[in-house]
Structures are given as structure tokens and as C-alpha cells.
Chain A
């Protein structure tokens, strides 16, 4: 069986990468293949990498407050490239009141500070769309 492939991505100028690296390590320990983009990725770069690497999941991490602009930008490109079967998740410092708008844009779910990595592992296993 093919392993679940995840792109861990840092959109925008935010330099906080502790969370994304911890989650990348946890997903890898849970048997997934993880590609990490590194910092300062544009939405175009992220979606192109997702296509090239043929991932099942894009996990976006942002703590700078720019999610309100950048997450919908990523989702526009995801749809534009016909990647609707890729599961897109968001994490970081994202106020509860912004979550509905992020979901409306097509992000499947948002995981805030204090989320256990095991919860994210389970969520991905249950919700990954490509089998």
C-alpha cells in the first residue's frame, strides 16, 4: 500500500517553523512520507510542489496572521490545478472567528496551538481523499 504523502508548507514571510517541523516529525513517525517546503513560499510555489510531489495532503502553517489572505490564495490555485482531491489543512495562530472563512475557502480543518500531533495523524488517516 502506498504511504500517505504530505506536503508541510510555510506560506508567506513568517519564520516560525517549530510547529511545522514538530508535526512533520510526528507524521513521519506515524508512517507518512513528508516533504517540507522550507520558509517563505508563495502560494504558487506550494501548489507547484504539491503537484510535482504528487501529495495527498497539504498542511499549511502560519503564525503571522496572514492566513486570511494566503490560505484562500492557495485554495484558488488548488482548485485551478484540479487538485480538489488533495486534503488541505491549516495550523498556527488562527483566531477561532476566522475558521469559518477558512473552511469556506476550502481548507478542510484548522488546528490551533496545543493540538496533539496524534489528533492530526488520526484526522489525516480518516479524511485523506486519495486512497
Chain B
């Protein structure tokens, strides 16, 4: 899971000196120079707007990081791109939506005990809602793994990959049914109010219905929550992987399954656990994303999922710090494209990054050359 240098050669999709790779490099150079030029002009022209874009990018990037961790951990342990991961993210948003809308779970302490402190009630209720979404997504991911991937453990990797795409389609088109989530955009009822501040000559609260003055940078409580939650997740994950028995067993299993079994490690349980951890992070991301961008629909997981996958590849698939760094870069790329080129371009840029990474450095930023096993 974590990188260690190995002597084997990387599996090059295009040999580094080939014509295509050179075209890729020149293309990247041109794009890079162009991007730097645009960014520099705008940085000097309107620094506050630039800062605002950076902040928007951070918000997106941190959510992508939560999803990308699941991709990279699952890949690290079973060498499978779990394409259903983005749909787990979507299911989480819907679970929290139903919990809040139908059952007012976000206010349960106050509803059970009428005299309860309202703000404390919101905090406890929101955390409960998030935990519920996480638990349901963990169960979903474990079920997917048991039903769809485990029987294919010894099959060629391409079979499992195609199955993953199939599971993803199943979740999406099952969700699209009218009696499930339907195809509509649904306004998401947030468990708590999003509070926005603007920064210009000090920090001021943005009153509802009032636009912040020109030249102000706005931030919101959900941005701060997303940043904190993601950093906590990173710290938790580092602790898990470095210090706990199951975490070390995950790394051992990811490196060499037969030898892990000789140690008495129950490889199937470790794999289930990895899917569970990844799904719980995606679920957390799903709820936070829905709060930040409060319109949900069944296909909402497709693009964030794919971009988080690109982030994981960019960072070096299998590497946990790589997923984080890759996601931050993806967030910035997307926010800058939306801000300075055009919003529809952001997806094109995201997938161009994927193509460039695969052409120039398929192992990503932190990636280790893949060990081909006999």
C-alpha cells in the first residue's frame, strides 16, 4: 500500500521514448505553460478572485480525497478498480437525505427530549445521520464485495474489472427507477444551516439575500467541516495502517496474499475490511458533498467517482498519500478551469489529466512500479 522501491521495471503502456510519449510531453508542456500564463494573469489582475477559486478547489479536492482513498486502498489490496465506489458515494447522500427528510434524524435529541439544547441537538443529530449513512454504505460495499468480487478472486483481473462496471451500472439504473431514487434532481434538505462569511477588511457574516461586496472572499462552515473531516480521516488512516494489527495485516496482504495466509491472516476478512473502510470514507464524502452542493440525484456519483479515480491514478494508485495529493490537484484543476475557462470544460480537463498521466507516468506521483506476479 505504501510505496517502497522495487527493482522491477514499471509496466509501461507506452514506452517512455516512443513518439506518442513525446507528443504527450510536448502537449503537456504547452498546456502547462498556457495554464501558468492564464493563472498568473488572473492572480495579478484579481487576487481575491484567484483566492476564491483556490478555496473552491480545496472544497472539491478534499471531497475527492475522501472518495479517492477507497479506490486506492481497494486497488492496493485486490488490484481492482472498484467502479461502483462512486455509486456508494451517491447512496450515502440519499440515505442521509431520507434520514433527514423523512425521519428528522438530524434533530433526534431535541425530538426525544424537548428541553434539549438546540445547537447541541443539531451537532449530535448530524453526526448520527453521517454515521448512519456510513454504516449503510459499509454494509452495501461488503455485500458488493461478497456477491460480485469474491467469486472472481482467482479469475483474470479484467473479469473483475468488467464486473465492477456492471455493479456500478446496476446501482445507477436500479436507483433511477421511480420507486427508488428516481431520475429527478432532488433539493437536499441539509441537517444544519450553511453559514457563509466573507473576508474583506475583516470577517463578516453573509446575511441571507445579501450579496457580499465586490472583492470579497467567501468561506462557509461546510468548507471548514470538509477540511477538518478529511484531515481527521487522513490521520485516522495513517494510524490504522501504521499502528494497528489489522492495518499492518492490510499492508502484508496487499504485498503477498499466500504468505499473509501462512501468518494466519484471514485474507478474505482483511479484504472485506478494506472495502468497508473505503466505503465509510466515501459515505462521509457523500453527505458532506450533498450539504455543500444541495441538489442530489441518482447519477451524482458518476463524475465525482470518476474524478476521484483520476485523482488516485494521478497520485499513484495504491498509495494513500498519493490519493490525497492527487485529489487536491484535481480539485484545483477543476476550480481553476471553471473559474477561468468555462464550467463545462472542467470535465474535459479532468479526463485529459488522466490521459496525460497514463501516457507520461502511468505509475503516478507516488506510485511504485507494479510487481508482476507469476
Please say whether chains A and B are actual partners in one complex: no
